[in-house]
Chains A and B, each alone.
Chain A
């Protein structure tokens, strides 16, 4: 670092006071491999093990696919600039449902899932999904892009969501993180989706800052701490966790809009992963279900709480 080069004061040039990056784009193969590894580690014990083991295999399939697929067509530069000028997300989720590249990803993902061991309900849904019509798939993709998943066909939507995650993460990876702008509190600057959870990170240059993790494209973006990710309020924010333990996963509650989103303290436990640890902390969701607060974090692998 060259120190002071202009007459304008710049406190970030003093010592190691760096402004943390606004957004961290996913490296898709790495993202899903690390998620698979974390699911595997969490599946070593506890009541959730069968489901976590299944999701470890599913993330493994996602990782393999992310590494093998041909490079996706980048999002057109003029679309990115137009979105930037208007404070909109550059990845158009509504248009994504009709993207042939997404269909190709789905067509590779579904057969790859056949090798994964899973209960009857899940394998039936997978088999049905491979047989069903393109129109049906398009309708379900529409539901997924709107984060509105009907419970009567939840397993089929879960598989499709996993394939969408791969494609969306690969598209997000084609962007330039420096060119992203905040869209709205609690919305992904790449695809406009809601977060799964948020993390207080410990990585150098961003120690103690909070990043929300997108449930769709895997982008992580900086959000001010002690702030509700559902409504943006900073008043009446509390943190709930089971009594008597030093929790590193807590529920960030908001008294303004009565919702809550999980917050993971990665600065205290670097192994935490936004999706895997969201699923593995299902107990917290069950306890929060008894309170007045409503879950606002979105995770296709943990719907219904």
Chain B
């Protein structure tokens, strides 16, 4: 820590108030007082800059999210701007057109925030609970796999293929998540699979 500051801290703690300033000591106290009067009614607002990874593709560009409102102090934060992270070695601040439009993606009124279900023959999506959705997905997967699983090919060699169901997984994940996703899909025998999908 620099000594000028420690000394000032000491003077403050000793009740001496502000011991002296460059402006005051140089004879510009009037200017100093005028600035003090000007800022007195003003309040400070907090913005936050947060590092993150673009969710779109497996290039995984670094981004900085600018938000208003201090989450650390229990306030609600709102994203006001998103830009490329110039410190990130992958993209050095650049973004593709999709990444550059990320703020609209985050704040889109049509953004999916819960599971939705479009029933066969229906023309609209309806909300569904996670439990119901996962149960239904598991049921349909099981039925389809039981019906269409290919144990051996024409030559009688074991292949364990399940070609009638495919899977797309998004790319904003860690290596560990990607590894687990791969294991889940491949242990079921799924062939049509991309776990770093460019969505």
Contacting residues of chain B (4-58) with chain A, CB-CB under 8 angstroms? 4-5, 7-9, 18-28, 30-32, 34-39, 42-51
Whether B31 contacts A287 by the Cβ 8 Å rule is: no
Whether B44 contacts A51 by the Cβ 8 Å rule is: no
Give the interface size bracket for A toward B: 35 or more
The docked-state distance in angstroms from the alpha carbon of A225 to that of B38 is: 31
Kindly supply a per-residue 1/0 record for chain B positions 81-102, scoring 1 wherever the CB is within 8 Å of any chain A CB and 0 otherwise.
0011111011111100000000
Q: Is A214 an interface residue (CB 8 A)?
A: no
Whether B22 contacts A50 by the Cβ 8 Å rule is: no
The docked-state distance in angstroms from the alpha carbon of A151 to that of B24 is: 10
Q: Give the chain B neighbours of A298 by CB distance below 8 A.
A: 2, 4
Whether B47 contacts A241 by the Cβ 8 Å rule is: yes
B44's partner among A47, A149, A236, A291 (CB-CB below 8 A) is: A291
Q: Is A120 an interface residue (CB 8 A)?
A: yes
Whether A11 contacts B90 by the Cβ 8 Å rule is: yes
Q: Is B70 an interface residue (CB 8 A)?
A: yes
Q: Give the chain B neighbours of A287 by CB distance below 8 A.
A: 39, 42, 44
Contacting residues of chain A (58-97) with chain B, CB-CB under 8 angstroms? none
Q: Give the chain A neighbours of B25 by CB distance below 8 A.
A: 121, 151, 154-155, 158, 304
Nearest-neighbour CB distance to chain A for B185, whole angstroms, equals 29
Whether A51 contacts B31 by the Cβ 8 Å rule is: yes
Best-surrounded residue of B26, B42, B90, B94 (most CB of chain A within 10 A): B26
Q: Is A20 an interface residue (CB 8 A)?
A: yes
Whether B39 contacts A121 by the Cβ 8 Å rule is: no
Q: Is B112 an interface residue (CB 8 A)?
A: no
Q: Give the chain A neighbours of B36 by CB distance below 8 A.
A: 286
Contacts known (A148-B4, A209-B93, A300-B22); A47 close to B38, Cβ less than 8 A: yes
Q: Is B72 an interface residue (CB 8 A)?
A: yes
Q: Give the chain A neighbours of B44 by CB distance below 8 A.
A: 240-243, 251, 287-288, 291
Q: Besides A236-B72, A237-B49, A304-B25, 4 other CB < 8 A contacts?
A: A118-B27, A150-B7, A225-B87, A298-B4
Query: Could you tell me which B residues sit within 8 Å of A by CB distance?
Result: 2-5, 7-9, 18-28, 30-32, 34-39, 42-51, 64, 70, 72, 83-87, 89-94
